[in-house]
A and B are shown apart, each in its own frame.
Chain A
Amino acid sequence: KAGVTQTPRYLIKTRGQQVTLSCSPISGHRSVSWYQQTPGQGLQFLFEYFSETQRNKGNFPGRFSGRQFSNSRSEMNVSTLELGDSALYLCASSLAGGSEQFFGPGTRLTVL
């Protein structure tokens, strides 16, 4: 089976812009989670989607949003980018929310 794929791998944006990141889960996986990873804060949970519904949400401002499509592919969007949004954004898929997660390689977002 193909692994979790994330596009793009690298992205450079300027403050105030918006960005959309994409994640394709492993075939058959219905749960997709998004994480933000920074050196100072570690791995922070953004949100989880299961069967096109947001099932869990972390403690992030409303500028961070996501969605999941009927084929389980997911996108996350960050509007009005801030310098502090620079991070590695990781997507993970699983069969069910509490079980083993498989991670993609991440999207490195740099905000200038």
Chain B
Amino acid sequence: AQSVTQPDIHITVSEGASLELRCNYSYGATPYLFWYVQSPGQGLQLLLKYFSGDTLVQGIKGFEAEFKRSQSSFNLRKPSVHWSDAAEYFCAVGTPGGSYIPTFGRGTSLIVHP
């Protein structure tokens, strides 16, 4: 079975600073990888996904993530954070071709200081 770890429960950055949120997964082959964002009281919105191909994936809202097979990681990055990026971020791993639903990490709460 697959699993995913988000080591940071909270991350605090200043507006305009760069951001990296960590995600490590466990799966025997190349998985499907996702990053979702959730604003307070809302559902989850997909930021980006990796299925195959180019390991650097571009998403919405200026986010990108890089799949590193050797490190079993899929870290989310943004060069300059805006106050509106404050939210909960979830990494998820899915199994290609399987009937299993994605497994979600516990989430990382992003706090943005003005």
Q: Which residues of A contact B (CB under 8 A)?
A: 4, 31, 33, 35, 42-43, 45, 48, 50, 55-56, 88, 90, 92, 96-106, 108
Nearest A residue to B34 by beta-carbon distance? A100
Size class of the contact patch on chain B: 20 to 34
Question: Which residues of chain A are near B104, meaning CB under 8 Å?
Answer: 35, 42-43, 45
A-B contact count (CB 8 A): 63
B114 at the A interface (CB under 8 A): no
CA distance A58 to B71 in the complex (A): 29
B53 at the A interface (CB under 8 A): no
Q: Which residues of B contact A (CB under 8 A)?
A: 32, 34, 36, 41-46, 49, 90, 92, 94-104, 106-107
Instruction: Kindly list 16 other residue pairs between chains A and B, CB separation below 8 angstroms, not including A4-B43, A42-B106, A55-B99.
Output: A35-B104, A45-B104, A88-B41, A97-B99, A98-B95, A98-B96, A98-B97, A98-B98, A98-B99, A99-B94, A101-B44, A101-B46, A101-B92, A103-B43, A103-B45, A106-B43
